[in-house]
């Protein structure tokens, strides 16, 4: 049985701050959702396995033909990795991913009656499934909040927004998030953080401190902070080849 992450100790002040951040995220990203395209639990599992070290956009380009050719777990199980490979060859590590998809669907048919399991322990027995993938499937396919999905965006933002220490690993980041936020919010929380990371607080290349969330909660951000937004506007002016002198006052 996989051990459930133990909660971190945090004070009431930090929990109150996290509650305010959650409210702000809900205001800005009320429509946040999983951006992988799927119509069933097994399609979500397959898409999530394929998403390792690539983007949801790339996965969504590959899966329509894949899902049409293999509509059920049994169709994958009765095939071979070599038959799956042509449908996922545009994705990195496609041979390993094809093997993972084939073996996980075969296990689902042989051990779980053709249905995607609904527990963390059972999901972790499938090839290509680690805790992050299991959390994606449980939260989005079954509305089960067993943990928080921590991808690169969630890890980065958790540190920039002072939710976890800078040196925290993925497992520790998840423990902090599980402690700071109410369980019923865990799945939606990860989507909102991912959306903020993709749309505003990107890894590098821009200052996002003029966004309300970053301005109010990004005290630990490693990017240059310019709350007035003047730096961004000056960069835009320079990029457009304009040399107008900014009026004072």
Query: Is 110 inside any structural domain?
Result: yes
Query: Is 196 inside any structural domain?
Result: no
Work out the average pLDDT over 220-238. Answer: 52
Q: Which residue has the tokens 């401190």?
A: 209
Distances in Å between the Cα of 88 and the Cα atoms of 101, 107, 115 are: 10, 20, 23
List the catalytic residue out of 56, 75, 151, 210: 151
pLDDT at residue 185 above 70? yes
Query: Is 90 inside any structural domain?
Result: yes
pLDDT at residue 179 above 70? yes
Which position has the higher pLDDT, 200 or 2?
Answer: 200
Other CB atoms closer than 10 Å to residue 242's CB: what's the count? 8
Work out the average pLDDT over 222-228. Answer: 60
Give the pLDDT score at 133.
Answer: 98
Query: Is 129 inside any structural domain?
Result: yes
pLDDT at residue 52 above 50? yes
CATH number at residue 80: 1.10.340.30
The structure tokens listed for 197 are 């990371």
Q: How confident is the model at residue 208 (pLDDT cuts 50, 70, 90)?
A: low
* Tally of domains in the chain: 1
Q: Which residue has the tokens 């630990």?
A: 220
In the annotation, is 245 catalytic? no
List the catalytic residue out of 97, 106, 132, 159: 132
Query: Is 91 inside any structural domain?
Result: yes
Give the pLDDT score at 241.
Answer: 44
Query: Is 235 inside any structural domain?
Result: no
Rounded to the nearest integer, the mean pLDDT of the chain is: 89
User: Can you give the residue range of the structural domain that contains 54?
Assistant: 41-141
Summarised one tens digit per residue, pLDDT across range 122-135 is 999 999 999 999 99
Query: Is 96 inside any structural domain?
Result: yes
| Nearest to 17, CA basis, from 155, 164, 180, 156 | 180
In the annotation, is 132 catalytic? yes
Other CB atoms closer than 10 Å to residue 68's CB: what's the count? 9
pTM score = 0.86
Give the pLDDT score at 106.
Answer: 98
Summarised one tens digit per residue, pLDDT across range 153-173 is 999 999 999 999 999 999 999
pLDDT at residue 242 above 90? no
List, as own/partner pairs, every contact residues 26-35 make where C-beta atoms lie below 8 angstroms and the sequence separation is at least 24, other chains included: 26/192, 28/192, 28/196, 28/212, 28/213, 29/191, 29/192, 29/195, 29/196, 32/188, 32/191, 32/192, 32/194, 32/195, 33/191, 34/136, 34/140, 34/191, 35/60, 35/194
Q: Which residue has the tokens 């520790």?
A: 172
Give the pLDDT score at 64.
Answer: 98
Query: Is 113 inside any structural domain?
Result: yes
Q: How confident is the model at residue 26 (pLDDT cuts 50, 70, 90)?
A: very high
Give the pLDDT score at 236.
Answer: 37
Summarised one tens digit per residue, pLDDT across range 74-118 is 999 999 999 999 999 999 999 999 999 999 999 999 999 999 999
């Amino acid at each position: 049985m996989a051990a459930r992450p133990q909660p971190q100790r945090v004070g009431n002040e930090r929990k109150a701050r996290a509650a305010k951040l959650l409210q702000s995220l809900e205001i800005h990203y009320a429509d946040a959702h999983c951006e992988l395209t799927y119509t069933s639990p097994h399609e979500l599992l397959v898409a999530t396995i394929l998403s390792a070290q690539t983007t949801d956009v790339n996965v969504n380009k590959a899966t329509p033909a894949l899902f049409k050719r293999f509509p059920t777990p049994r169709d994958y199980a009765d095939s071979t990795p070599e038959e799956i490979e042509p449908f996922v060859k545009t994705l990195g590590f496609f041979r390993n991913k094809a093997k993972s998809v084939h073996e996980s669907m075969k296990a689902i048919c042989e051990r779980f009656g053709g249905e995607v399991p609904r527990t963390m322990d059972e999901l972790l027995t499938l090839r290509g499934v680690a805790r992050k993938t299991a959390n994606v499937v449980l939260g989005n396919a079954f509305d089960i909040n067993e943990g928080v999905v921590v991808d690169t965006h969630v890890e980065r933002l958790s540190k920039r927004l002072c939710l976890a220490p800078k040196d925290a690993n993925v497992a520790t980041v998840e423990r902090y998030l599980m402690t700071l936020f109410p369980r019923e919010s865990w799945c939606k929380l990860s989507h909102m953080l991912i959306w903020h990371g993709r749309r505003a607080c990107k890894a590098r290349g821009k200052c996002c401190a003029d966004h309300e969330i970053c301005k109010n909660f990004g005290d630990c951000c490693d990017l240059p902070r310019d709350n007035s937004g003047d730096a961004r506007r000056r960069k835009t002016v320079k990029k457009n080849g304009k040399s107008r002198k900014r009026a004072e006052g």
